[in-house]
Amino acid sequence: MTVVHQDSEDHCGTIRGIRSIPNGHLDFAEDCVDTEHPADVVLGTTRTKRLRSSPAAVHAWKVDLESFALIPIPSKTVTCISRSYAGTDYGEDLVNTPVRELARAFPDSLRLKPRGPLSIEFCPDNTCDWFVAERGVAWEDLEDFVYLFTYFFSDYFVVQDWRSQMVSTRIAGQVLAGRVSGSCVRDTDLAKAQCVLRKLALRSRIKVYAVRYDEKVRAVTRVSLNKTLAAGTVATNPKQESMESSTP
């Protein structure tokens, strides 16, 4: 159910939406991703309990953020996220997770693959930054990596105004606060982001690629993360370019 509170002192609230799980063998999932509509807040049910990976949804509901009603949606494009909760704490705010905020700021620019080998592709124009993690990596590791990389190092022109917005700055700060510890405690946010991205890339085996399209052919070039972090802008290695005929 969804319960709306008038303020932080309201301990009862008003029920705006309620759904029952039709099968006792299904589990409720409070954080799901609709790959067709990544900005939406989606709840669902899954068949598997305590999965390490992210399971496909059996049933799915979109949360209407104006009425807080639960609206049934097709589940075929919905994956429910199995989070480790070892990374950033967003204050239980499912509306402003990094991926959802990026999807709202740049409509139709995100392509998500939240199952199997995870990937997020950010395409604000006819080129893309493609982030790929190996199978078994936590979704929030890739999600935080993409947000920090885009906020601090993306060289897309459309990102410049977005960086100055209050919500993007706040979420970047939350991601850093949840990730910075030990050797990553630095004097500036940029230095912290450099350290966190290096650690996440190593621990979660995340790779970054630059993608461009030339006459329906997809050209993929590996991005040198070390050079990018050092230079403050995306640096590629032309010798590591491959050509593909279709998107991932």
Q: What is the pLDDT of residues 133-173, one digit of tens each?
A: 988 888 889 999 999 999 999 989 999 899 989 999 999 99
Phi/psi of residue 93, each to 5°? Answer: -95, 100
Report the pLDDT value the prediction gives residue 91, as an integer from 0 to 100.
45
Counting residues of the chain whose pLDDT is more than 90, the rounded percentage is 38
* pLDDT value at residue 51: 52
Residue ending a domain, choose from 80, 107, 138 = 80
Q: Which two three-digit tokens encode residue 221?
A: 């070039």
Residue 92 forms part of a structural domain: no
143 with 228, same domain: the answer is yes
Same domain, 107 and 176: yes
Domain extent, residue 119, equals 98-244
Residue-wise pLDDT tens digits, 183-238? 888 889 999 999 999 999 998 899 999 998 877 788 999 999 988 888 876 655 55
Helix, coil or strand: residue 40:
coil
State the DSSP code for 184. Answer: G
Q: How far apart are CA 245 and CA 106, in angstroms?
A: 25
Mean pLDDT of 48-58: 68
Tokens of 240: 């590591």
Question: What are the residues facing 211 on neighbouring strands?
Answer: 128, 220
Same domain, residue pair 7 and 64 = yes
Structural domain total, the chain: 2
Mean pLDDT computed over 2-11: 52
- The pLDDT value recorded for residue 1 is 47
Instruction: Give the pLDDT of residue 18.
Output: 59
0.75 surpassed by pTM: yes
Please give the Cα distance from 21 to 108 (Å, whole number).
32
